[in-house]
């Protein structure tokens, strides 16, 4: 099964799934908000069903959120009712695509980078979409840092269509890739009890 087919099929279930660790999720949102300015234009890639974009939108001037899955984007767009923030737009796009309206003051990608099949291409696209001096924020699973049982189970879960194809990166390898794409790492933190998904703050140098 392709990644697109997996995420299109998974979208309705993903939309109903409760957040695994609400306290850690709120801490992530707080950390992101603390790094943003009200005048900022923010791009979120791999936005899923749009919940995070809708929570962050009141903290910025404009938010564009994209996802490769048309089913995910359809669910996100259906949330843009009369009570939704009016500064959000959802579009279908690959992580490697340029997005109209860029470059942005900040780009974020949550639970995404371990899923893209062309990580250097995605990071290059992200760097091009961040203004010089702007931020890239990531929190994603580093499967290589998991214990042996989890690492052994992942290929089997992928093979039976229960999990999407993933890259088994360590946190160290992921930060190396982000730096190789032209960013400087400013902070790496683990939120809540999770020790597999570092919250990474990276900056594109101003010059
Ligand atoms: C685990 S979900 C995370 C969704 C959301 N960011 C969150 O934190 O809840 C991964 C999302 O990445 C999207 N995705 C997977 N591969 C992608 C790619 N190559 N380009 C863009 N989006 C992708 C999927 O469609 C899915 O919505």
The continuous run of DSSP H or E covering 196 comes out as none
Confirm if 99 and 66 have CB atoms less than 8 A apart: yes
Ligand 1 neighbourhood includes 52 CB (under 6 angstroms): yes
What mean pLDDT comes out for the span 128-151? 95
pLDDT, tens only, 156-168: 998 898 889 899 8
Whole-number Å distance, alpha carbon 44 to ligand 1 midpoint, is 10
Q: Peptide bond preceding 32: is omega within 30 degrees of 0, i.e. cis?
A: no
167-193 pLDDT, tens digit per residue, is 989 999 999 999 999 999 999 999 999
- Does any domain span residue 129? yes
Structural domain contains residue 183: yes
pLDDT in tens, 11-26: 999 999 999 999 999 9
Residue 7 belongs to domain spanning: 3-141+170-203
Question: Within a domain: residue 147?
Answer: no
Query: Residue 113: pLDDT band by 50, 70, 90 thresholds?
Result: very high
Q: Please give the distance, rounded to the nearest whole angstrom, from the Cα atom of residue 148 to the centre of ligand 1.
A: 25
For the chain, where are the E strands, in sequence order? 41-45, 62-67, 88-92, 104-110, 130-139, 184-189, 199-203
Check whether 3 has a pLDDT greater than 90: no
Ligand 1 atom with minimal separation from the 72 CA: 27
Count the domains in the chain.
Answer: 1
Q: Ligand 1: distance of its center to the CA of 207 in Å?
A: 31
CB of 116 shorter than 6 A to ligand 1: yes
For residue 4, pLDDT beyond 70:
yes
Residues 139 and 86: their CA atoms lie apart, in Å, by: 26
Asked whether residue 156 is domain-assigned, the answer is no
38 occurs within a structural domain: yes
Look at residue 195 and tell me if it is in a domain.
yes
Answer whether residue 204 shows pLDDT above 70: yes
Residue whose CA is at the smallest distance from ligand 1 atom 8: 110
pLDDT at 46: 98
Report the CATH number that the domain containing residue 54 is assigned in CATH. Answer: 3.40.50.150
Span 54-86, pLDDT tens digits: 999 999 999 999 999 999 999 999 999 999 999
What's this model's pTM, rounded to 2 decimal places? 0.96
The reply to whether ligand 1 has any atom less than 6 angstroms from the CB of 6 is no
103 within domain boundaries: yes
pLDDT range class, residue 2, cuts 50, 70, 90: confident
Q: Quick one: tokens of 86?
A: 């009016």
In a domain, 187, yes or no: yes
Give the number of the atom of ligand 1 that is nearest the alpha carbon of residue 44: 6
Under the banding of pLDDT at 50, 70 and 90, the label for residue 1 is low
């Amino acid at each position: 099964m392709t990644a697109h087919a997996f995420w299109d099929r998974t979208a309705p279930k993903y939309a109903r799934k409760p957040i695994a660790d609400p306290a850690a999720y709120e801490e992530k949102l707080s950390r992101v908000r603390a790094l943003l300015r009200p005048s900022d234009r923010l791009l979120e890639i791999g936005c899923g069903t749009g919940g995070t974009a809708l929570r962050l939108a009141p903290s910025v001037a404009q938010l564009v959120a994209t996802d490769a899955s048309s089913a995910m984007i359809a669910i996100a767009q259906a949330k843009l009712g009369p009570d939704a923030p009016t500064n959000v737009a959802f579009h279908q796009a690959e992580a490697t695509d340029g997005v109209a309206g860029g470059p942005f003051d900040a780009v974020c990608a949550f639970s995404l980078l371990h899923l893209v099949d062309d990580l250097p291409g995605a990071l290059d696209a992200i760097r091009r979409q961040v203004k010089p001096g702007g931020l890239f924020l990531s929190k994603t699973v580093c499967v290589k840092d998991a214990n042996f049982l989890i690492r052994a189970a992942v290929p089997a879960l992928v093979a039976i269509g229960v999990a999407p194809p993933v890259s088994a990166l360590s946190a160290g390898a992921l930060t190396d890739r982000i730096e190789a794409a032209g960013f400087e790492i400013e902070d790496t933190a683990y939120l809540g009890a999770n020790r597999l998904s570092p919250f990474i703050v990276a900056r594109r140098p101003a010059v």
